[in-house]
Amino acid sequence: QPPSSPPPSLCTDIHYENDLDKVIIPHGLIMDRTERLARDIIQDMGGHHIVALCVLKGGYKFFADLLDYIKALNQNSDKSVPLTVDFIRVKSYCNDKSTNNVKVIGGDELSNLAGKDIVETGRTMQTLLSLLNECNPKMVKVASLLVKRTPRSSGYRPDYIGFEVPDAFLVGYALDYNEYFRDLSHICILNEQAREKYRV
């Protein structure tokens, strides 16, 4: 059971101290799970050149940590393969609501693996996948750190999932509320006061 409030000894992000309701996934647990996902991915994709595509901005922490683990495993394997990276940016949210409008910017190579922050309805990922598939990649696999259990889900499931999370608005570990909280280490639930404080 993760702690129900940010432990003062862990919460280095003092500027957010009064904004959080609770820690849902502490940073150490994120790292442990990500290491395991890297192992699963290498097992499935080992031997193939991987183009890792990061979905910015919310996916940057997960992407960087996942790739570090993949790199370490890759270096220690007998069928070590090249790993290249690309970045794409998508935006659909304002405050804590989806805007029904998925904007995609950047990305100049195809992906064999997409690194993603969170899948809520699945609409962002489905939009992205249909764009990627137009380029006929050999294989596309999606890794998402979080999948939300929500009745709004389209039914879409990524190939690799870190955690299933409750239907609440989450921040931290690169997930934002109007661009704030990306610099928070743990994945947390905001309190009511913070929703107002950072509303646009």
Query: Can you give the binding site for ligand IMP, defined by CB under 6 A?
Result: 58, 92-93, 98, 117-124, 169-171, 175
List the interface residues with Mg ion, window 163-192 (CB under 5 A): 176
* Binding partner of 51, given ligand IMP, Mg ion, none, CB within 5-8 angstroms per partner class: none
Nearer to ligand IMP by C-beta: 78 or 179?
A: 179
* Binding partner of 107, given ligand IMP, Mg ion, none, CB within 5-8 angstroms per partner class: none
CA atoms in the 13 A half-sphere facing the CB of 161: 13
* Binding partner of 115, given Mg ion, ligand IMP, none, CB within 5-8 angstroms per partner class: none
Residues 62, 162: contact at Cβ < 8 Å?
A: yes
Q: CA torsion angle for 12, 97, 132, 150 (degrees, to 10)?
A: 90
For the chain, what is the radius of gyration of the CA atoms? Answer: 17
Nearer to ligand IMP by C-beta: 112 or 124?
A: 124
* Binding partner of 170, given Mg ion, ligand IMP, none, CB within 5-8 angstroms per partner class: ligand IMP
Residue count, binding to Mg ion (CB under 5 A): 2
- Rounded to 5°, the CA angle 59-43-166 comes to 40
CB of 151 to ligand IMP, least distance (A): 12
Binding residue for Mg ion, selected from 60, 93, 156, 198, defined by CB under 5 A: 93
CB of 21 to Mg ion, least distance (A): 18
- Rounded to 5°, the CA angle 122-62-190 comes to 70
Segment contacting Mg ion (CB under 5 A): 9-17, 67-75, 89-97, 148-156? 89-97
Burial class from Cβ neighbours inside 10 Å (0-12, 13-18, 19+) for residue 167 reads exposed
Q: How many Å separate Cα 33 from the centre of its chain?
A: 12
Nearer to ligand IMP by C-beta: 69 or 177?
A: 177
Alpha helices in the chain (DSSP H): 27-45, 60-75, 123-133, 192-197
Q: Which residues bind Mg ion (CB under 5 A)?
A: 93, 176
